[in-house]
Amino acid sequence: MGYEVHGVIRRCSTFNTKRIDHIFEKLNLHYGDLLDSSSICSLICEIEPNEIYNLAAQSHVKVSFELPEYTTECTAIGTLRILQAIKTSKRENIKFYNASTSELYGKTRCNSQNEDTPFFPVSPYAIAKLYAHYITINYRESYNMFCVNGILFNHESPRRGETFVTKKITRAIANICKHTQCVLTLGNIDTYRDWGHAKDYVQAMYLMLQQNEPIDLVICSNEQHSVREFCEMSFAFAGIYLQWIGRGINEVGVDQHNKVVIKKDEKYLRASEVNSLLGDCSKAKRILKWKPTYTFPKLVYEMLRSDFQELALPIDDYDTCLARYAIYRCAETVKRQGSIEV
């Protein structure tokens, strides 16, 4: 696309660029912080950007209960600082994208969520994002700025941080197969999420800033899967077939040799849990001419393969893994129903 890409990084004692090493030489990185208005203003004046993508936040939901003030300062007020810096720069050609989130819907009673679904946030992170969402709209309407919110549902990739459940699962499976870890410990595995691939969603983000008029859109896969299903699929891809024993917090997942590989711990439960999210991106499909290209199994496989390759472990091709999971699901159906129609 011919873009000159600039990014903002925070000063810390260790310089970790692991997830961007493959493109590091192509980037222009600057020190800055959303807690520091002066750094934001200076960078906008220095770089003179045409597009700004605000992807920065304290984005871990559970951590937001432990650090509510910091989460609000960074995620909510940080967005305000960027918007105000754009406004005072008087550069009318700047287009601003704000990463909104499906966590805004929280405990909504709607079966699926679109741009018109009422918000019901239930975590400090989601409430901070709600402020960021509405302040973006406020600056758009008050100052005629090109500002948009992308309400992105969960998006994953091999670069996902290891404190997030999807990466925690695939990394643990690789470690279990490497015999450096025995058990994966999780919290609530019966929450349902709309998971997509970050690559697809970044394409949608880009397209949102190429429109003639600013508009807020839901970006999602239109599919819903549980953490339990993510576990079953990713373990099956690795040749480990889960059986569930027990109930509640005492439930465990055992492999085909009756060895416990998954257990639960209350410390991973959230103070207020969002049980189910399912997006409806029909508006984005119509306006952006966009649709997700990754299926859920393909996403799971790519994440698992990356972790296996990092540990120099062999993994079968995608079709073989998918067939293995299909056999596992068929066997589970037979166990539950006693028979299966072919």
DSSP state of 116: T
Question: Given 53, 105, 125, 201, which residue is catalytic?
Answer: 125
Is pLDDT of 342 > 50? no
Is pLDDT of 324 > 90? yes
- Kindly report the average pLDDT of the chain as a whole number: 94
Please give the model's pTM, rounded to 2 decimal places: 0.91
Determine whether domain 165-188+226-270+296-337 maps to CATH 2.40.50.100: no
pLDDT score recorded for residue 273: 82
Is 201 one of the catalytic residues? Answer: no
Q: Which of 144-158, 214-228, 246-260, 261-275 has the lowest mean pLDDT?
A: 261-275
Do the domains 165-188+226-270+296-337 and 6-152 match in fold? no
CATH annotation of 6-152: 3.40.50.720
Classified as helix, coil or strand, 115 is: coil
pLDDT score recorded for residue 72: 97
pLDDT score recorded for residue 59: 86
Q: What is the pLDDT of residues 141-167, one digit of tens each?
A: 999 999 999 999 999 999 998 889 999
pLDDT score recorded for residue 230: 98
Across residues 217-221, what is the average pLDDT?
A: 99
Instruction: Return the residue matching tokens 């390759």.
Output: 309
Across residues 19-36, what is the average pLDDT?
A: 85
Q: What is the pLDDT of residues 65-98, one digit of tens each?
A: 999 999 999 999 999 999 999 999 999 999 999 9
Across residues 44-61, what is the average pLDDT?
A: 94
Is 101 one of the catalytic residues? Answer: yes
Dist CA 104 CA 96 (whole Å)? 20
pLDDT score recorded for residue 63: 92
Reported confidence tier of residue 118, pLDDT bands at 50, 70, 90: very high
Percent of the chain clearing pLDDT 70 (strictly above): 98
pLDDT score recorded for residue 1: 67
Reported confidence tier of residue 261, pLDDT bands at 50, 70, 90: very high
Question: Given 103, 108, 156, 328, which residue is catalytic?
Answer: 103
Question: Given 72, 75, 101, 108, which residue is catalytic?
Answer: 101
Is pLDDT of 34 > 80? yes
Is pLDDT of 337 > 90? no
Domain ranges of the chain: 6-152, 165-188+226-270+296-337
Is pLDDT of 341 > 60? no
